[in-house]
Structure 1
Amino acid sequence: MNHPASLDPDLLRVFVYIAEERSFTRAAQLVGRTQSAVSMQVQRLEAVLGQQLLHRGRGGSVELTRHGQFLLQRARDMLALNDDVWRTFHQPSVSGTVCIGTPDDYALRFLPDALMRFAQSHPNVEVEVVCAPSDELVPRLKAGTLDLTLLSDGYQPEQFPTTELWRGPLVWITSDRHTAHRIDPLPVALASSLCHWRKAAVAQLERSGRAYRVAYTSATQTGTLAPVLAGLAVGVSPSTMLPPGVRVLGPEDNVPSLPDFRVVMVKGRDARQPVTDVLGDYIAETFARETEKAGGMRTGLAA
């Protein structure tokens, strides 16, 4: 029985870097090799697959071919599995307890995958998850009851180790079956008055002169989605965290633009180790993978 040739993870990794950076030069820097060596690796991968994967244009620009587009996400998935297996067998085993905080905005979207992979590698760790708004998580972090927490931008306390997980624009959202955005004054569903998303949305509405009224208020993002999905109001969301049943509003819908926004991960000063750092690595990787799938910018930069 003939078996297909194996794909070298090193070749796939170089291809993914080139595809993401749209640059052979930048990819070579990331893997610590010369540009000519990287070019040879791509040629080897194309020879194994029998198809051209990349077009090199004028000025060093790089575009994916149809086959390259097909390979990109599959290569990411294969590398993620490869890295998980490697880490499982080479990372020191950790045990104990770790407590992580998160707003509900991110819990369902990002934590399941991170917690699943973490549990597979470190089954003896007990993970406690605290879901609460960012303004309630910060006092717990300062009090030492959280080892690690995800926070919306603007809440992170000074002098705590912080990692940027995601950066992108906030957007207005409405039901994809209703037209609440055409009502005047505009009915909006927002979080509490302390929420930075709410402050940004209200400031832009007032700056633009668009008449509005706060029709629904909730302590959580999930709570603001109910009236949006029902067609009773418009809401605010990060651009890559859109729930099913909504669509993004644009300038043609007479809503003002919203500023960029970050999601950060903050570690407690006396966080239990090494379990906290290990779990934090899984969470950062999950954010990076999910935002890359959604076309977001690469993440994981120390802030």
Structure 2
Amino acid sequence: MTQNTMNIRTSGLPLLDTDVLRTFVAIAECGSFTRAASQVHRTPAALSMQIKRLEETIGKLVFLRESRQVRLTTEGEILLGYSRRLLKLNEEAVQQFLSPSVTGRVSFGTTDDIGTRILPGVLAQFARSFPGVQVDVTITSSRENLDRMDSGDLDMALVIIGNEGQEARGEIIHTEPLVWAGREGGIAFEQSPIPLALANHGCIWRRAALDALDQAGRAYRIAYTCENTAAQEAAMLADLAVTPFPVSLIRPPLKKLEKEGLPPLAKYQIALVRNASSPEADVLSDHIKSAFLAMRPSAA
């Protein structure tokens, strides 16, 4: 009887309108009703009515309205995560039944940091939406991926922009800060010369770190030269070195070194480079770009 009662109560809960959730996400990311209205092609007044309806539905305020911007409340922050997931699931469901069947094979190249951290989840979602597309992945350096693109061995690749001797190619789909990282509670950064764990010559992270330290007049030694980010992490976890790292890849017990007196580093960018278009490559490209777009923090 208790279980039956629970089912009845659950089925009586209101459903969240995906159109309203899409408006909510747009406002959260734009930080403004006016900018979001332009994005979703509606008036600010219409958006305001939708948000009022949403707040009435869940019984909580989702935005703090200020003179020139809006900020998410605590409840709004929680709802934003749910909204993005619900909209993504809705898109996958529609694609499953209404999208034309896409089959084929795509050869795809990427760098170690993307291929081991970000890409597995992206490809898992893609496989559920497009089970007829086979994706073959090669993980190597940006320069090697571009060489493989030129030889026709790859259909598309994600490469890091700004490597020495690398021409600007492709569409920039992600930008984020490059920061110093080290072990939480560690002392490697206090040593002089400071020990570094860096990738091989030609890596933009390596060049950015050495240029920053040279300009700051900070003594350093290259303690580890690594082929992949896992080796750099191992050096940091052992508190044997610090390293330049994208902020999105830092996980406890590693931390961003902010007050340790190290010189700031520039942002780094990821570009999607493609060869000839095909239906299977087009859908994979769109899926990858959507995944990186979802990684961007909200404007709140």
- Normalised by the size of structure 2, how large is the TM-score? 0.91
* Greater CA drift, 41-50 or 128-137: 41-50
1:32-63 alpha-carbon deviations (Å, 9 max, x no partner): 111111111111111222222212112x3212
Matched, 1:275 2:280: yes
CA contact 2:184–2:252 (8 Å) conserved in 1:
no
Post-superposition shift, 1:164? 2.1
Written as runs of structure 1 = structure 2, the 5 A alignment for 1:1-303 is 1-2=8-9, 3-58=12-67, 60-155=68-163, 157-158=167-168, 160=169, 162-250=170-258, 252-268=259-275, 270-271=276-277, 273-292=278-297
CA contact (8 A) 1:172 1:235 kept: yes
Over the aligned positions, Cα root-mean-square deviation in angstroms equals 1.7
Give % identity. Answer: 39
Letter in 2 for 1:276: A
Q: Does the aligned pair in 2 maintain the 1:138–1:157 contact within 8 Å?
A: no
User: How far apart in 2 are the matches of 1:90 and 1:118?
Assistant: 16
Structure 1 unaligned blocks of 5 or more: 298-303
When the two structures are superposed, what TM-score results if normalisation uses the length of structure 1? 0.90
Note the C-alpha offset of 1:285.
Answer: 1.6
Report SS of the residue matched to 1:247: strand
Once the two structures are TM-superposed, the CA of residue 286 in structure 1 deviates from its matched residue by 1.6
Aligned-partner Cα distance in 2 for 1:112–1:172: 25
1:147 Cα offset (Å): 0.7
CA distance in 2, matches of 1:125, 1:54: 41
- The CA distance in 1 between the partners of 2:130 and 2:24, in whole Å, is 30
1:152-181 deviations in Å (ceiling 9; x for gaps): 1125645x5x23222121001111242110
Query: What SS does the corresponding residue of 2:36 show, helix, strand or coil?
Result: helix
Query: 1:58-101 deviations in whole A, cap 9, x for unaligned?
Result: 2x321222322221111111111111112222222111111110
CA deviation after TM superposition for structure 1 residue 212, in Å: 0.4
Structure 1, residues 122-156: CA drift from partner, whole Å, max 9, x if none?
21222100000112111001111111111111256
Aligned pairs, how many? 288
Question: What secondary structure does 2:180 align onto?
Answer: strand
Deviation at residue 15 of structure 1 after TM alignment: 0.8
Q: Which runs of 4+ in 1 moved over 4 A?
A: 155-158
Q: Is the 8 A contact 1:113 1:286 kept in 2?
A: no
Read off the aligned partner of 2:213 and give its amino acid letter: L
Amino acid paired to 2:249: M
Provide, for residues 200-232 of structure 1, a one-character-per-residue CA deviation record: whole Å limited to 9, x for no partner: 110110000000011110122332222111111
